[in-house]
Chain A
Amino acid sequence: LAKTTQSISMDSYEGQEVNITCSHNNIATNDYITWYQQFPSQGPRFIIQGYKTKVTNEVASLFIPADRKSSTLSLPRVSLSDTAVYYCLVGDFRSSGTYKYIFGTGTRLKVLA
């Protein structure tokens, strides 16, 4: 399974765009990149998933360069409620592939007023 590396923590202010990066140098051809969000005292929640280039949903955008060795989760105009831990996972999550979700330490985002 590809190992991921993220910064441990970061601070931001309300209304700013936040970019959280993840390194996954040994990502495999069939691997997808998935991001989860975890609030205190809750289980993680799926945010976004992608394979290459850019993916956008109502919550975030995911940017993946051509070599796919890193990815950036972008949160537009964060609010205090976006304070959480953000996990980057890499794996072949298809039914026929790797099934384990291996979580790293995540990035602890703190949004300040």
Chain B
Amino acid sequence: GAGVSQSPSNKVTEKGKDVELRCDPISGHTALYWYRQSLGQGLEFLIYFQGNSAPDKSGLPSDRFSAERTGGSVSTLTIQRTQQEDSAVYLCASRLRDGTGLNTEAFFGQGTRLTVV
């Protein structure tokens, strides 16, 4: 597609339920990032995928959070047993990893606004 696509755009869930957030990166982009942004705050890094390498999960806040990337393209962020503090906008970004070593920019999706009630 033309840009990074995230779905759903909005999600309201009850506390304790599991949710899945989807990210479709730009075609050909090998790097994919997930971030979380609470209201009025900056972006919090969650996880990073690069090709077939093991993902960097260092930003995941708890073991209730997990993510996978199938076929090096679409990614799903799963939050189990959601809590009210999980309410935030979850942003996905993708980046072209250029073998020439040149710097390339990350392109962000519009985000999924998650509300846990």
A interface, CB within 8 angstroms of B: 32, 34, 41-46, 49, 87, 93-96, 99-106
Contacts and interface: CB of A to CB of B under 8 A. Distances in A.
Q: Which 5 A-B pairs have the closest CB atoms?
A: A43-B108, A46-B105, A103-B43, A105-B42, A94-B101
Interface of B: 4, 31, 33, 35, 41-45, 48, 50, 56, 91, 93, 97-111
A43 B109 contact: yes
B48 A102 contact: no
A45 B108 contact: yes
B45 A49 contact: no
A54 to B, nearest CB: 17
Contact of B110 (A42, A100, A104): A42
Given A95-B101, A99-B48, A99-B50, A104 B42 contact: yes
Contacts of B98: 95
A93 B110 CA distance: 22
B108 A44 contact: yes
A41 B108 CA distance: 12
Given A43-B91, A43-B109, A46-B105, A101 B99 contact: no
Contacts of A103: 35, 42-45
A32 B105 CA distance: 12
Contacts of A94: 101-103
Contact of A100 (B48, B91, B107, B109): B48
A104 to B, nearest CB: 6
A17 B107 CA distance: 27
Which of A41, A87, A104: most chain B Cβ within 10 A?
A: A41
B43 A44 contact: yes
A97 B56 CA distance: 14
Contacts of B4: 43
B48 A34 contact: no
A73 to B, nearest CB: 15
B40 to A, nearest CB: 9
A105 B110 CA distance: 19
Contacts of A95: 97-102, 104
